Amino acid sequence: MSGSSLDGLDIAYIHLHENAGKWSFTFIHTACYEYPDSWRQKLAGATSLSALDYQLLHAEYGHYLGERVNHFIGTNALQYQVQLISSHGHTTFHRPASRMTAQLGDGAALAAVTGINTVSDLRAMDLALGGQGAPIVPIGEKWLLKEYDWFLNLGGIANLSHHRTAGDFVAFDVCPANRVLDQLAAEEGMRYDPEGSLAAKGRLDIRLLEALNALPYYSEPYPKSLANEFGTGTVRSLIAGFRLPVADALRTCTEHIAIQVKNAILLSQTDPAASAISTISATPAAPSAPRRLLVTGGGAHNTFLVGRLREYLAPLQIEPVIPAPELIDYKEALVMALIGVLRWREEYNVLASVTGASRNSIGGALWIGQS
């Protein structure tokens, strides 16, 4: 799994077990291979390439993924033990309105380099069926993490899913998160803002906060999803226009993320035909017992952001839960593994109730790496 924050390549070796329709999982080995500057630049600039150069990068990155997987297998002495590779790749273009999405990382190259059967292109079928192609993680939450009410991933983009009492799942992208925060921190020569310490020292700028919260995406009903350019282009440009000190920009952007997560939770409890504007105008009555929000992704390590979330969610009696480090950092890799296994078994692995597609689908291209 490679996320939009470009921090590195997550690889997890996982045992999945199904018994009478109940799934369980065990993390055996995990690693995050930080991208060298050359690869970070290649991935960041992929959308500006010509068609030919893009396809060349697609093939090159697929071979790179295979080499990294081989290194992981060798480091952990997993030769002849890995039965299947499921690769999300790195998202570049995402245009649901045109039924198109693109993830770098040629699955055929990955299978050829490793000699292991590989599943890739996990989102394409859902887009072809008219879905958003995102989020696709709720299938893993449905089968592997049933004890939570909401799931928040604080990655390059924050996304939320909700297991409703009716038994269905709804999910959608909330707002840009780590990708924008990391870009702001880079202005101070930092890869990221550790624990949100710089943001905590900043001053909240109400004008910028109001401008961010007024962006049209937030008033759209779900299902909906965001391309990376919304954060790196629209949001980043809006922030730059206010010419704030970095600490103030970080502080305000952090507040924006917390507010939009709260609004998204309220929206997730409504009929999808209702607009976000109408749903956030009032706070529904709180339940008698606290409900639980599982928080994962790199942003779960941002203690200042998590603290702001707790403040906003306390009146709703929703408790943010920070799990063990492996689940924080490798939840998405875990779910990609499950999606790959379900594809191999020819079982549904993308939920139409989440993406808005015409039906559930079995997504993923299968490449036979074994000779």
CATH code, domain with 109: 3.30.420.40
Give the global pTM: 0.84
Which of 21-25, 281-285, 326-330 has the lowest average pLDDT?
A: 281-285
Q: How confident is the model at residue 280 (pLDDT cuts 50, 70, 90)?
A: very low
Q: Residues 299, 169: one domain?
A: yes
Q: Residues 15, 123: one domain?
A: yes
Angle at 58 between CA 54 and CA 60, to 5 degrees: 115
Q: Residues 307, 180: one domain?
A: yes
Q: Residues 222, 279: one domain?
A: yes
Tokens of 305: 């952001």
Q: Residues 170, 292: one domain?
A: yes
**For the purposes of burial, counting CB atoms within 10 Å of the CB of 303, is it exposed (0-12), middle (13-18) or buried (19 or more)?**
middle
Residue pLDDT, tens place only, 34-90: 999 999 999 999 999 999 999 999 999 999 999 999 999 999 999 999 999 999 999
Q: Residues 339, 243: one domain?
A: no
Residue pLDDT, tens place only, 168-224: 788 899 999 999 999 999 999 999 999 999 999 999 999 999 999 999 999 999 989
Query: Would you say residue 163 has pLDDT above 80?
Result: yes
Q: What is the mean pLDDT of residues 100-128?
A: 97
Q: Residues 25, 157: one domain?
A: no
Residue 154 and residue 175: Cα distance in Å, rounded?
10
Q: Residues 196, 254: one domain?
A: yes
Q: What is the mean pLDDT of residues 305-334?
A: 96
Q: Residues 275, 168: one domain?
A: yes
Residue 2: inside a domain, yes or no?
no
Q: How many domains does the chain have?
A: 2
Residue 1: inside a domain, yes or no?
no
Residue 89: inside a domain, yes or no?
yes
Q: Residues 283, 161: one domain?
A: yes
Query: Would you say residue 158 has pLDDT above 60?
Result: yes
Q: Residues 99, 151: one domain?
A: no
* Cβ-Cβ contacts under 8 Å for 119 (sequence gap 6 or more): 84, 85, 86, 87, 107, 339, 340, 343, 344, 364, 365, 366, 367
Counting residues of the chain whose pLDDT is more than 70, the rounded percentage is 95
> What strand order describes the sheet that includes 150-154?
169-176, 157-163, 150-154, 291-296, 318-321
Q: How confident is the model at residue 265 (pLDDT cuts 50, 70, 90)?
A: very high
Residue 50: inside a domain, yes or no?
yes
Q: Which domain holds residue 289?
A: 145-326
Query: Would you say residue 104 has pLDDT above 50?
Result: yes
Q: Residues 173, 117: one domain?
A: no
